[in-house]
Amino acid sequence: MHQLTIQAERMERRIEQLAAIGKISETGVCRLALSPEDREAAELAKSWMEEAGMDVRIDAFGNLIGRIEGQDPNAPALMLGSHIDTQPYAGRFDGTVGVLGAIEVVQTIAEQRIVPAIPIEVAAFCDEEGCRFNKGLFGVRGLLGRLEEGELERADKNGVTRREALVAFGGDPERFSASQYPPGRINAFLELHIEQGPVLESLGSPVGIVTGISGPLWWTVDLRGFAGHAGSVPMPLRKDALVGAARIIVGLQELASGEPGAPTVATVGSLRVFPDSRNIIPEHVQFTIDLRDIDLARRNELEAKLRQLIAAAAEENGLRAEIREDTNSEPRYCAEPILETIRASASEMSLTVPELMSGPFHDSLAMSYYCDYGMIFVRCREGISHNPKEFASGDDIALGTELLYRTALKLCGASSSMPTGGGLQDGP
């Protein structure tokens, strides 16, 4: 049994309420970035931030940000948060747990009548997932002045540009500079997230401490051949773009699996064929590549081999190949002082907390270039994520949120001692 200060039932209730927005099945959610559903979810989360006593705004990048002042309102703030946008075929917990956990931390601080030494900000960052415009971490990178040229002109599968979607959402590209954070405004960033992998479950641990995030490399690859009649063009004379893509996809699998025990992962998650007809030789294939590794040197070596593979597949099939780099980040490690603070908080709770790397990237990845960061993982069943079967128990989420709360108290200079009298409840 663990004593909880946070209100576990409130967390569970809010998770279910948010999951009702963009619901596609009993447990499935589709809440794409900058969609009407995303805006509806932001408004609901905004109401909870205000209930917790925060001053709240939606900035020019579409980020939802709440703030409570500390004893020194001019001091660099502690920021907590994550995202509430989802993949098109998603569950209820990815990102959401981190935002609602952060709100719960601030609301509990208010209910315990604690005034932190420094301000605390809570962020629900816009478009962490990157699935709609093939470029993630948009809101957090915008806040930090790290957007790249042409990002607003990226279009989704329906031809809607990010600029159009952002304006419809309530963002404003003309106010980007006013919404950017100057250096030093945030002292540290702390993110609660489901693990999205099977390690914690295999260890029988409800929560874990993240030590670093693998570096993602995202490409969009175009292969262009020549369309022809499927019944009349001899095999040796074809320029079949899909055949070239197939060789690359199989080769990518072999490259990523080449070193036994290495944490390298690679995925082709989206593929589009033109003209997409049963009896026409494919002329144009566009597909995505997602390559990740915690070892940057190994990932760079694999990248070089992958470029060679693409060039060979194009030459053998008479194709033209184009590679567009969408994301390229090095692995980023959590700050040791924050790790020590999380360990100390876990010890207070009599928790034995394993430490592990994160294969998925998170908003913390971008924040790591701006300030110290730390992450807490919550166990998820069978490691399933980006799937409606994604599940984390209310008990595990409550423990993770309590650990977030106690860590935040230490990082913001407030006393971590539990108040006497009421306010405690029995937890899992």
Binding residues for Zn(2+): 83, 94, 129, 193, 386
Among left, alpha and beta (phi > 0; psi -120 to 50; other), residue 275 is alpha
Nearest alpha-carbon partner for 157 in 249, 244, 270: 270
Q: Which residues are annotated as a binding site?
A: 83, 94, 129, 193, 386
Nearest alpha-carbon partner for 209 in 338, 385, 370: 338
Nearest alpha-carbon partner for 282 in 225, 220, 231: 225
Which residues, including other chains, have CB under 8 Å from residue 196's CB and lie 6 or more apart? 94, 359, 360, 380, 383, 385, 386
The DSSP result for 288-342, as a single string, is: EEEEEES-HHHHHHHHHHHHHHHHHHHHHTT-EEEEEEEEE---EEPPHHHHHHH
Query: Mapping DSSP to helix (H, G, I), strand (E, B) and coil, where does residue 238 land?
Result: coil
> Cβ of 232: how many Cβ atoms within 10 Å?
8
CB 103 within 8 A of CB 11: no
Euclidean distance between the first and final Cα of the chain, in Å? 5
What is the helix (H) or strand (E) element at residue 78, kind and residue range?
strand 77-83
What is the helix (H) or strand (E) element at residue 220, kind and residue range?
strand 215-224
- The radius of gyration of the chain from alpha carbons, rounded to an integer in Å, stands at 23
Which residues, including other chains, have CB under 8 Å from residue 270's CB and lie 6 or more apart? 287, 288
Query: What b/e string do you get for 80-91 counting C-beta neighbours within 10 Å, with b at 16 or more?
Result: bbbbbbbbbebb
CB 427 within 8 A of CB 398: yes
CB 386 within 8 A of CB 87: yes
Q: Are strands 77-83 and 120-125 parallel, antiparallel or unpaired?
A: parallel
